[in-house]
A and B are shown apart, each in its own frame.
Chain A
Amino acid sequence: AQKVTQAQTEISVVEKEDVTLDCVYETRDTTYYLFWYKQPPSGELVFLIRRNSFDEQNEISGRYSWNFQKSTSSFNFTITASQVVDSAVYFCALSEGAGGTSYGKLTFGQGTILTVHP
């Protein structure tokens, strides 16, 4: 069975601080995809990134970066120089299957509430 754990329920930082959101996953599949989504107060889930299980290269996109470590089953997300607009709930998710297939079911973690204060 798949499981995603986001141990940090809430994080509060001051603007311009760096913040790392942790994600640990469990799966028996050798092929899987990992995702991060952002959920602002409006409720819509906004896709941020997808990584497949064969690509452990870290990725940077502007102020966002992701650290995927298969050895520890972790896929952590760092926001550099946080801004008030980054305040949201962030979800890590897992999808099993080659090419994100089977039926593409996403298993989500519980989410981390990030509050960035001015």
Chain B
Amino acid sequence: GAVVSQHPSWVICKSGTSVKIECRSLDFQATTMFWYRQFPKQSLMLMATSNEGSKATYEQGVEKDKFLINHASLTLSTLTVTSAHPEDSSFYICSARVSAGTYEQYFGPGTRLTVT
């Protein structure tokens, strides 16, 4: 149980275009989803926290107009990287939490974004 999927697993796009990444909880309903960014051989950096039906909370330094997060249902959250640039190339990982009172986060397999 507690499986989280991401789509696509990897994507290459041209500079200036937008890319949408989906995060789905497959066998549970996730009240909260998190989006992380990870550079090679580095730790996970929390970008934003999203709760179903409400606006995402972005971490300091993360541009909310560039990284659009939508948590439209209890099983789906999307991250859209708008007007992507090469410096946005990274590994994006989502995680999901079952309910506000629980600690466990279940991570997706990640999406490798390369902007050319």
Q: Do A and B bind each other?
A: no
Interface residues of chain A, those whose CB is within 8 Å of chain B, are: none
